[in-house]
Amino acid sequence: MRNADANSTARVHVQNAGIVLTVRVKNVMPDEDSFWVLYRHDTQPILHPEAGKDGQPRQRNSALKYVKQWRVCLDIGSHVGQWTRPLAKKFQSVVCFEPNPNFIECFKKNIQEKNVLLWPYGLSDHEHKATQVFNSTVLEKGDGDIECRTLDSFGLTNVDFVKIDVDGFELALLNGARETLTKNNPVINIEMKRNKYQPAHKQSASRQKLVDECDAILRDLGYRFVKHTKSDEVWLKS
């Protein structure tokens, strides 16, 4: 059981009203679905009593059906830990990557499991700096405060499952993860957002190009597409 600080800020839903209020509460005791979050409309972290339902349980459960061993799991783009907590119950070890310091603040409040390790880096195809807006999940290359490394530089072994949610950095990440994926052959769940934009949208062509290039890398590494759940895709070694 994780204890929130007294006088913490919590979000509660008014029943049958469809209204969201932010109120001051004392001695909040987070349950399984409670998480400190920092959504796009938030100006500071808040304790949301039902944020676990935003943690994509359908996508996670669909992907985990393909896992055969439960040694090391990688949670890439950990955000505030909504995937991490349930993954920590299944795997011997969960290695997380989240570069946004504001999400990390929430993550550390949410995740107390002893088998979780958090690295405060973005993952790319080479070492470089990047920028990230206060509560954004999108990394931008540039002279910022975010440090990026390759996944291969961590030399991880016994990896059985990889969850990827990096909002536009998929190609760079995969290029920097070739050795890790080749040596470990993990099940991959990647939020590809293949059909995110309608064909007429100005970003449709660039997103499709990124998706095609990610497909090519995964197939070059011996992976095949298995299924999708919403925007997430499961890939397995052939």
CATH class of 55-237: alpha beta
pLDDT in tens, the chain (238 residues): 233 343 344 444 333 344 444 444 433 445 678 999 988 888 888 898 888 877 789 999 999 999 999 999 999 999 999 999 999 999 999 999 999 999 999 999 999 999 999 999 999 999 999 988 877 787 777 788 999 999 999 999 999 999 999 988 999 999 999 999 999 999 999 999 887 665 656 567 888 899 999 999 999 999 999 999 999 999 999 8
d(CA 203, CA 198): 9
Give the pLDDT confidence score for residue 166 in this predicted structure.
94
Q: Are 78 and 117 in contact (CB under 8 A)?
A: no
Number of other residues whose CB lies within 10 A of the CB of residue 32: 8
In whole angstroms, what is the distance from residue 215 CA to residue 127 CA?
23
**So what's the pLDDT on residue 16?**
39
Nearest to 229 by CA among 192, 185, 199, 174: 192
Q: How far is CA 105 from CA 26, 55, 134, in A?
A: 20, 17, 12
Per-residue tokens: 66: 């393909």
Residue with tokens 């550390």: 108
In the chain, where the domains are located? 9-53, 55-237
The model carries a pTM of: 0.84
Give a three-class secondary structure readout of the chain: CCCCCCCCEEEEEECCCCEEEEEECCCCCCCCCCEEECCCCCCCCEEECCHHHHCCHHHHHHHHCCCCCCCEEEEECCCCCCCHHHHHCCCCEEEEECCCHHHHHHHHHHCCCCCEEEECCEECCCCEEEECCCCCCCCEECCCCEEEECHHHHCCCCEEEEEECCCCCHHHHHHCCHHHHHHHCCEEEEECCCCCCCCCCCCHHHHHHHHHHHHHHHHHCCEEEEEEECCEEEEEEC
Distant-in-sequence, close-in-space partners of 174: CB < 8 Å, separation ≥ 6: 181, 214, 217, 218
